[in-house]
Amino acid sequence: MNKTHLTRFFVLVTMTSIVCGCGPGTPKTYPVTGVLSLDDKPVPDATITFIADAGNNKSAATTSDAQGKYAISTFKQGDGAVPGSYKIIVAKYQKGAEENPYGDNNPPEVEQTPEAISAAYGKGYAGPPKGNAAKAPKEWNDVPAKYSDMAQSGLTFTVEAKPNTFDIKLSSKN
């Protein structure tokens, strides 16, 4: 390789390194912690989502612990949020047990012999449910529904370039 080619090679490598290293990277985040409560009682295992307003494109979320405490995460667990204003939604969905499509949650065991299976069919057992016969588990939200709707929650917070504390106090009354 002659001197001109070697110089061009090093210039190319240097320029590539500079261009690749000058990307936008990850925006700076600041801690956002607090306690989530409903009627002054902590709410465990609720999902808290900070939805970024215009101009700030990084939303953040977390789940409250057993005491209702939370630490918002944007890029990694507990790293906080990018400075800016946010609308907040909160939900705690629960799922009930799946219902037996035959109405009996503890059906008797059927002995697995041809005679016993035939007798079970004779008593009304028609095999596994067909199509949409199975009943879906019931779901519900343990916090008032308005808090899981961005347009109705009324919850907002502005994250500043410092550690932030925001206690979220929900009410079951209007």
Cα–Cα distance measured from residue 165 to residue 91, given in angstroms and rounded to the nearest whole number: 20
For residue 62, pLDDT over 90 is answered with: yes
**In this predicted structure, what is the pLDDT of residue 36?**
96
Mean pLDDT for the stretch of residues 42-48:
94
Task: State the pTM of this model.
Answer: 0.64
- 154 Rama sector, left if φ>0, alpha if ψ -120 to 50, beta otherwise: left
pLDDT band at residue 50 under the 50/70/90 scheme = very high
Domains, the chain, in order of start with CATH, read 27-96+140-170 (2.60.40.1120), 98-137 (no CATH)
**In this predicted structure, what is the pLDDT of residue 16?**
39
**In this predicted structure, what is the pLDDT of residue 15?**
40
For residue 14, pLDDT over 50 is answered with: no
Mean pLDDT for the stretch of residues 54-62:
82
Tallying the residues shown for the chain, one arrives at 174
Task: Read off the tokens for 154.
Answer: 């009324």
